[in-house]
C-alpha cells in the first residue's frame, strides 16, 4: 500500500522509528493502524529530502520541538546546497574532460599541431626535467600540489621546451610545468 519493503519496515521497527500496531506471533506479519499512515507518509517525504533515518526519527518524534524541526531542515538544506555545488563542479570537470577528448580526436593522434590560444591563466611550477623519469616525478609533484590546493586536477598540464635545446643539442629538457586555469576558477 505504501510501496515500502518488508525489510524496510523491519528496520524501522528495529530502530524504533515506526513500531507496528500489532505483530501476529504465528505468522510474523506486522500490522499498522490507519493513524500510522500519516507517519509513514512523513517518513517517505523526509527520505525524498535526503534526511537520514536518525534525523527523521528526531524530526517526527513525540518530543521534537518546532525549533528542532527547523534546525534539522535548515541543516539538510545546507547539506543539499553543498551537494549541488559539488555536483556542478563534477559536471564542469566532466564537460572539460569531454571537450579535451573531443579536441584530441579532432586533431588526431601522433600529429603535431600549432594552436594559437587566447590569453589564459596558468599556475607555473619551476621544475626542470631532463629525463622522462624526472618529468614523471615532477608531474606527480604538480598533481599532488594542485589537488591539495584546488581539489581534483582536471586541467591541461603543459611545460616549456627550448627550441635551441632540440635543434642545436638534440635533447629535450622540460621546464616550467604549468596548469591551465579554466575560467580563473582556482583564483577565487
CATH number of the domain bearing residue 31 = 1.10.1660.10
Q: How many domains does the chain divide into?
A: 3
Which structural domain range is residue 70 located in? 65-115
pLDDT score of 188: 45
Q: What is the mean pLDDT of each run of 10 residues along the chain (188 residues)?
A: 86 93 91 90 92 92 82 94 93 87 87 81 86 89 84 76 83 82 55
φ and ψ at 62, to 5 degrees? -65, -30
What is the end-to-end Cα distance of the chain in Å, rounded? 51
Query: Is there a contact between 20 and 32 (Cβ–Cβ < 8 Å)?
Result: yes
pLDDT confidence of residue 183: 56
In this prediction, residue 91 carries a pLDDT of 92
Indicate whether 90 and 142 sit together in one domain: no
What is residue 182's predicted lDDT score, i.e. its pLDDT?
Answer: 65
Q: What's the confidence (pLDDT) of residue 142?
A: 87
CA geometry: angle 154, 155, 160, nearest 5 deg:
145
**40 assigned to some structural domain:** yes
Query: Can you give the pLDDT at residue 79?
Result: 95
Do 107 and 57 fall into the same domain? no
- 125 has which bridge partners? 177
Is position 1 within any domain? no
Amino acid at each position: 500500500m505504501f510501496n515500502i519493503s518488508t525489510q524496510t519496515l523491519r528496520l524501522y521497527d528495529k530502530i524504533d522509528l515506526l513500531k507496528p500496531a500489532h505483530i501476529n506471533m504465528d505468522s510474523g506479519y506486522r500490522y499498522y493502524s490507519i493513524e500510522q499512515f500519516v507517519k509513514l507518509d512523513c517518513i517517505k517525504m523526509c527520505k525524498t529530502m535526503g534526511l537520514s533515518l536518525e534525523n527523521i526519527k528526531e524530526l517526527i518524534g513525540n518530543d521534537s520541538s518546532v525549533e528542532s524541526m527547523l534546525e534539522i531542515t535548515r541543516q539538510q538544506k545546507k547539506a543539499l546546497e553543498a551537494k549541488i555545488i559539488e555536483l556542478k563542479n563534477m559536471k564542469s570537470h566532466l564537460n572539460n574532460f569531454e571537450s579535451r577528448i573531443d579536441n584530441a580526436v579532432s586533431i588526431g593522434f601522433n600529429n603535431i599541431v600549432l594552436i594559437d590560444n587566447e590569453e589564459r591563466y596558468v599556475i607555473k611550477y619551476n621544475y626542470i626535467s631532463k629525463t622522462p623519469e624526472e618529468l614523471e616525478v615532477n608531474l606527480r609533484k604538480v598533481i599532488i600540489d594542485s589537488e591539495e590546493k584546488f581539489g581534483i586536477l582536471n586541467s591541461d598540464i603543459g611545460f616549456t621546451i627550448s627550441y635551441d635545446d632540440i635543434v642545436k643539442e638534440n635533447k629535450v629538457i622540460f621546464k616550467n610545468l604549468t596548469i591551465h586555469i579554466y575560467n580563473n576558477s582556482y583564483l577565487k
